[in-house]
Amino acid sequence: MENSKNRKTGAAILFIGFALLFFILFTRVLFIQTTGKADGHELKNEALQKYMRTDVLEAKRGTIYDTNGEVIAEDTTSFTVAAILDPSVTTNPEEPNHVTDPEKTAKILAKYFEMDQTAIEERLKKDGAFQVEFGSAGRGLSNSVKRKIEDEKLPGITFIRQSKRFYPNGKFASHLIGFTQQVEKEVNGKFLFDTQGQMGIEKLYEKYLEGKDGKIRYTSDLWGYLLPNRQEMVEEPEDGDHIYLTIDSKIQTFLEDALNEVSAQYEPAKSFAIVAEAKTGKILAMSQRPTFHPGTRDGLDTNWMNDLVEYSYEPGSTMKIFTLAAAIEEGVFNPKELYQSGTYKVGPNRVRDHNAGEGWGMITYEEGVQRSSNVAMANLLERMTPGVFRQYLEDFRFGQATGIALPNEATGSILYNFPLEQVTASFGQGSTVNAMQMIQGATAIANGGKMMKPYVIDKIIDDTSGKKIVSTEPEVVGEPISKETAEETINVLETVVTAEHGTGRPYHIEGYDVAGKTGTAQLVGDNGKYLTGFNNYLFSFMGMAPKDDPELIVYVGVAQPKLNNESGSAPVSKIFNPVMRNSLQYLNVKPDENIVSKTVELEDFIGKKTAEAREAYAKYGVDPVIIGTGDKIVKQVPSAGEKLLQGEKAIVLTSKNWTMPDMTGWSIRDVMKITEIAGLKLSYSGTGYVASQNIKVNKPIKEGQKLIVKLEQPGSVEEANERAKEDSDQSR
């Protein structure tokens, strides 16, 4: 009886305890359900934070265009392949979300990117890893490769989307354009990669190009997969603004090709060239060697510096252009007056003409300019006095930056303290300049005395509104000489090219009158002393054409070329002549009517039958490259009305079955016609002529496809010279 009573009491106590516990729990649940709070926390917000994901919506970097709207640098989408290894992400065994067969997966992936199957399999079997990637081999995949891998339906294989900077022209004004690099940054506790400019336009105009990333917040499950009834909050990204340069891609290509040829033949330590519009100061083309590929940075370790802006040097006899102009302005230059050439005494020192001071006897001052006589310049300096000439150097703005919108511009220096320094400054020795200063000064000669500031930025366009937010107009920065002096200076400089003993004779261009001045400047070695030897000079030429109304100024310099019984003008003229001639013809500057120009103006073949077009091209003396087997023409390059230069290829696109031609041996200029007519995206490496192409001959091509070509230089100096001779013969 006692035990029974105790059991009933215990049961009652347990019942009351459980009832009380249930009541407390029920009250707690009811309170939480009613108020949505627990321990002072909003449970709804806590849950939202736990399952809310925030991802960055990457802004598209602004595009860099040439003056005609041709793309120079743009963002393209690439993908990184990743593999999920953790089985916990799979909720339905019938549809696995992780890698289930490493051997099969590795075998298939090895077909699509350059990584050994065994190495891929090792990564797929990595113990304890939630997710793995495949290094550089698995990055930068194109959308077409991504789609092919997706079609294989491999469980656990996913892709990470990334933006990649694409430079379709490869080595193309590389030190001007610069490059970008992925820089790690922290956003909301996550480490992400951000594209930032590291050099040139890409770096200097980062604030315009970079854009502003957006973000998306959404609810997901434990593994990050989107829930069916998810909430999304989107803040759209603001894409970067677009920069239009003054660079003209056609002229830039002429320049790059010429520099490539000279690099192959003469292997100079350094070379550079600029093409400027004489009346405005627009830089239409600029480049240098050594250079680099902005996409791969291959070659960047050789020379990081933009030599056309950051490098100061002694210009040599091209400086005589400005000494001559000052003397004419001061009225002390009489072209027919005689003087004794050879040597000029400056205190205990003697200035010598470049033929070891032998001179040419009594000659006129005009002949002295033609022969590039140092003594002639010394005499002219004495007549106008050193103080007056010093003012002209300042009026031409030597010794001060041009202010071109590029970083780290060198100012150069005018070395003018002692009588000998004053005399040597008159013929370009001792004092230093940068290439843009020389171009700026030359615009005063070519533009009726008005000196134009050089510039490379045409405009910047807001991506959202399409309106100009920056616009550059031609700017007159001085008028150091009169119009009459400029005209007389050009007339004298023309004789440097046309006279029998003129040092500029190698720069004669059939059909166009060229005015200009040669230069042979000494180079300073590491020990601070001038180098000696036949090749150890900076050979240069500053030329403008047509002489009567100059359209273009072309300035070329080649340092320490490996000459083979040739003068220093040989490599320089192989850059200046084709660039000036092709650029003038491309700009439709009419040649002298007395000269028969070997160019043809194409008619419109679009819509005509292929056979009819082929016959018409044959009458022009041109064998076109015909793309496709269609019976009608849908596109042609060059287009109707454009001039076709001798030796160039004409490309014709038919209505169907486009296939890739064999481009072996083509110049990059002709390759660009294929990409333009078929809408391909071009990337190339190397210099010289096409040695290989990623799209095989006769394989189908389609718009948007990426074309990669490898260029190679001729195999020897003899081969290079022979090729150059053939090109020269064709251009005569």
Q: Which residues contact 544 (CB under 8 A, 6 or more apart)?
A: 278, 442, 445, 446, 490, 493, 514, 515, 516, 550, 552, 553, 554
Q: Are residues 108 and 216 in the same domain?
A: yes
Q: Is residue 449 part of a domain?
A: yes
pLDDT score for 725? 40
- Categorize the per-residue pLDDT at 727 as very low, low, confident or very high, splitting at 50, 70 and 90: very low
pLDDT at 704 over 50: yes
Is 70 exceeded by the pLDDT of residue 256?
yes
* CA-wise closest residue to 650 among 587, 661, 260, 256: 661
Please report the pLDDT score of residue 319 as a whole number: 97
Q: Which pLDDT does position 221 carry in this prediction?
A: 52
Mean pLDDT for 463-471 is 93
CATH of the domain at 669: 3.30.10.20
By mean pLDDT, which of 508-512, 560-564, 721-725 is the weakest? Answer: 721-725
Burial of 119 (0-12, 13-18, 19+ CB in 10 A): middle
Residue 571, CA distances (Å) to 344, 520, 561, 567 in order: 31, 13, 8, 8
Q: What average pLDDT score do residues 33-40 get?
A: 62
Q: Looking at residue 597, what is its pLDDT?
A: 44
Query: What proportion of the chain, given as a percentage, has pLDDT over 70?
Result: 85
DSSP H stretches of helix in 637-716: 668-678
pLDDT of residue 720: 40
Residue ending a domain, among 554, 586, 618, is 586
Mean residue pLDDT across the chain: 85
Residue 47 in domain: no
Q: How far apart are CA 382 and CA 390, in angstroms?
A: 12
Closest CA to 535 of 566, 505, 489, 509: 566
pLDDT at 726: 42
Provide the domain limits for residue 8. 2-35
b/e 589-611 (16+ beta carbons within 10 angstroms → b): bebeeeeebeebebeebeebebe
Q: What is the pTM of this model?
A: 0.74
What are the pLDDT digits (tens) for 281-293? 999 999 999 999 9
Residue 49 has what pLDDT? 52
Mean pLDDT of 170-190: 80
Distance CA 324, CA 330 (A): 10
pLDDT category of residue 55 using cuts at 50, 70 and 90: low
In a domain, 616, yes or no: yes
Counting Cβ atoms within 10 Å, is residue 93 exposed (0-12), middle (13-18) or buried (19+)? exposed
Supply the CATH number for residue 150's domain: 3.90.1310.10
Q: Is the pLDDT of residue 667 over 50?
A: yes
CA distance 171 to 683: 9
User: What does the pLDDT look like over 522-576, one tens digit per residue?
Assistant: 998 888 888 988 889 999 999 999 999 999 999 999 999 999 878 899 999 999 9
Q: pLDDT confidence of 596, banded at 50, 70, 90?
A: very low
Q: For 173-177, 221-225, 345-349, which range has the lowest pLDDT when averaged over its residues? A: 221-225
Residue 705's pLDDT is 87
Peptide bond preceding 348: is omega within 30 degrees of 0, i.e. cis? no
Higher pLDDT, 233 or 540: 540
User: 563-567: long-range contacts (C-beta < 8 A, 24 or more apart)?
Assistant: 563/266, 563/534, 563/535, 564/717, 564/721, 567/506
CA distance 426 to 434: 16
Q: Are residues 31 and 85 in the same domain?
A: no
Omega within 30 of 0 (cis) for the link into 591: no
Q: What is the pLDDT of residue 191?
A: 54
- Residue 729's pLDDT is 38
Q: Which of 685, 594, 597, 686 is nearest to 644 (CA)?
A: 597
Indicate whether 61 pLDDT > 70: yes
d(CA 203, CA 197): 4
What's the pLDDT at 647? 55
CA angle (342 as vertex; 336, 347 as ends), nearest 5: 110
Same domain, 639 and 577: no
Instruction: Give the other-Cβ count within 10 Å of 23's Cβ.
Output: 10
Question: Quick one: 368 and 424 in the same domain?
Answer: yes
Q: Dig out the tokens for 149 from the structure.
A: 């891998």
Whole-angstrom distance, CA of residue 365 vs CA of residue 337? 6
Q: Supply the pLDDT for residue 195.
A: 81
Both 531 and 639 in one domain: the answer is no
Same domain? 384 vs 438: yes
| Mean pLDDT, rounded, for 33-62 | 63
B/e letters for 39-55, b = 16+ CB within 10 Å, e = fewer, are eeeeeeeeeeeebeeee
Average pLDDT over residues 580-600: 76
Going by pLDDT thresholds of 50, 70 and 90, the confidence category of residue 626 is confident
Q: Residue 581: which pLDDT band, with cuts at 50, 70 and 90?
A: very high
Q: Is residue 591 part of a domain?
A: no
Kindly state whether residues 301 and 443 are assigned to the same domain.
yes
Per-residue pLDDT at 23:
75
φ/ψ bin of 281: left (φ > 0), alpha (ψ from -120 to 50), beta (otherwise): left
The answer to which of 301-305, 367-371, 445-449, 572-576 has the lowest mean pLDDT is 301-305
DSSP 344-402: EEETTEEEE-TTTT---SEEEHHHHHHTT-HHHHHHHHHHH-HHHHHHHHHHTTTTS--
CATH code of the domain covering residue 474? 3.40.710.10
Q: Per the domain annotation, does 44 fall within a domain? A: no
Mean pLDDT check: name the lowest of 183-187, 455-459, 470-474, 477-481: 183-187
Please report whether residue 46 resides in a domain. Answer: no
Q: Which residues are catalytic?
A: 317
Spatial CA neighbour of 671 closest among 257, 70, 138: 257
Write down the residue that tokens 């040599």 correspond to.
316
Whole-angstrom Cα distance, residue 382 to residue 402? 29
Q: Is residue 594 part of a domain?
A: no
In angstroms, rounded to a whole number, what is the distance separating the alpha carbons of residues 41 and 90?
32
Give the mean pLDDT of 307-320: 96
- Predicted confidence band of residue 454 (pLDDT cuts 50, 70, 90): very high
And the tokens for 408?
Answer: 């780290």
| pLDDT surpasses 70 at 390 | yes
Same domain, 13 and 156: no
Most confidently predicted of 37-51, 281-295, 584-598: 281-295
Q: Is residue 592 part of a domain?
A: no
pLDDT of residue 728: 36
Where is the domain boundary, 242, 276, 291?
242
Helices (H), 36-54: 43-51
Do 405 and 475 share a domain, yes or no? Answer: yes
What is residue 623's predicted lDDT score, i.e. its pLDDT? Answer: 65
- Give residue-wise pLDDT tens across range 74-96: 988 788 899 998 888 888 888 89
Q: Does the structure show a pLDDT above 80 at 37?
A: no
Residue corresponding to tokens 């160019």: 599
The reply to whether 201 and 254 lie within a common domain is no
Confidence of residue 621 (pLDDT cuts 50, 70, 90): low
Q: Check pLDDT > 60 for residue 377.
A: yes
Tens-place pLDDT, residues 117-176: 999 988 898 887 888 888 878 887 888 888 899 999 999 999 887 778 899 999 999 999
Token reading at 210: 């970079």
If one counts the domains in the chain, the total is 4
Lowest mean pLDDT among 48-57, 124-133, 270-279: 48-57
Task: Verify that 625 and 652 share a domain, yes or no.
Answer: yes
Q: Are 327 and 357 in contact (CB under 8 A)?
A: no
pLDDT at 178 over 80: yes
What is the model's pLDDT at position 629?
Answer: 82
Based on the fold, state whether residues 278 and 219 are members of the same structural domain. Answer: no
Closest CA to 492 of 517, 467, 457: 517
| Whether residue 716 has pLDDT greater than 50 | no
